[in-house]
Structure 1
Amino acid sequence: MYIGKVVGNVVSTKKEESLTGYKLMIVERIQRSNQEKLEEIVAVDLVGAGRGEFVLIVKGSSARMAAKNQEAPIDATIVGIIDTFDD
């Protein structure tokens, strides 16, 4: 799992049919210790995350498993919203 911050959303009226119905969010992967931005990715949102929220992300086959759709071209999925960071 990875930590990220939601920075926006993606609207796509034409897309692969298996992605229909999924909410797509732009997420900055971050390093918790200094909140350094590592990369921006587009992730399927399964939990209703909003802009500015810190989230848990899974990538690869785990992302497709979380979405319960092994056939969809999903590479990253938001699976949780982080309430607090604790050392």
Structure 2
Amino acid sequence: MGKATIKFHYDAFGELRSDPAMDRELRDQAYAIASRANSLAGIADGYRVHPAPSKSRARYIVSADSEEARRLEATRRCLTRALTGG
């Protein structure tokens, strides 16, 4: 067998991380996760999405923003289950 050489294209990867389509997809995924967590918890708005972009990438954070959501995360792991689909 011959040897394979893999060349990583850092510039293309950097463009992908800050691409508007990637940002939209990450945002949509974050809102879907928050929605699943709220549904699993039986609350309307305890888990929320926060945009957290950096200079080099799109990023979103889903967190338990209410006291009730924090308690439910600690006892029933609603956000964790929303992430894993469980």
- Which TM class, normalised by the smaller chain length? under 0.3
Greater strand share, structure number: 1
Rg comparison, structure with higher value: 2
Greater helix share, structure number: 2
> What TM-score do you get using the length of structure 1 for normalisation?
0.25
> What TM-score do you get using the length of structure 2 for normalisation?
0.25
